[in-house]
Structure 1
């Protein structure tokens, strides 16, 4: 496929914490001119066959995808997998184990919010959940907005759901090594998602990229909905420094909440190797 391509390789459906079905996302992506698409639900691949079929129906090329939550240096880091076999048992078992801690974490978040006068948050958050195994902070945020406690989800995270705030409960996710292994053993490529979002020192970020590459990771998101133009430049340089391919994705969750719409971002810088060149044989 050409290097200059409207590829959107990062978005979420109701199978995790998005608000649209895989079919609705495919229609929106196609309407916005996306040529190569991937659905990357959090720690879940249950929507992959639906997404691939919907992409074909709209004339789009498709790559399988997921976004795996990883703990690294005390931070939650996200690793996107692209082009893997969605029926690989190691991937399925690994993601199931990772999802397992979300329910208990959600109950603890609800209890913490109740202490500051917000009752019924767990039950309220469940109304926004397509898949109860994947209840997350985003679902709590939507409940708090609906309840009138905050005006938007950004305010919820700022006041209640980040470290040091009343509703924050940490969760230990998969290891970086495991996440990269699940992806690569299934024939896919591992990608560090939106690296500018992590609160790492320069040394910690260097360690993340070094270990990621040592475990077999091959790409980084350069152009993504949460990066600024200056960060596109910074992580293009990081991709060159570490010999990584570059990915592009909106991180779209919802028409009402997302920074960037599907297919709306600038193209990848021309001097980088697009991630889809590494998985050309896996494009459907």
Structure 2
């Protein structure tokens, strides 16, 4: 049975951020994830999470300067990337008991090719993997679609697994978001079976879902959600599935999709 984590950066925006842990728990979620929690002190968030009785299963490392979508693959930003990991991402993950940090690659700089900047990402993540291992954290790289994120370094699942293989660390994996993957490449059933196979040489560390094309609740659009959720279950996926979508008409009004999977 898939285990769903509410993304409290996109869901529950009707509540102040610190209250979203409890709101998600009230609706039956046993876990949450978030994007960038850094405007609220980690100790405050930890207290609210513990009081709500939910796990925080994923957060994003800081995105970098205004307009950026990460800096891990941006040459010249190595010092800033390392500082953001050591001073923000890993301390927040430890304070909140969060075992996964998504490291955003960023945009390919103007005039450069992906092949030019890939060594920067690999070098940064090799360094970061050692630091994260000491903190008990797994780092994730996520392919994002170019429609929403034109110029983003990482777009395809196979490229994500190539990066993870090049790093060669046990605590670096791919974040497989079905929304992004469907827009870029489709063939989700085959890709889920391939990459969730325990025998695959590199691993998926987290799944996420949202409807295509509108990024709403996973109950409409061009994907057969009943089939995909059943397949994830059949494949024995042991991790969480992040519900990283934008509610179409309010969070609670759109939770009908979740009721068959509610555990509480």
Q: TM-score, normalised by structure 1?
A: 0.42
- Structure number with higher relative contact order (C-alpha < 8 Å, ≥ 6 residues apart): 1
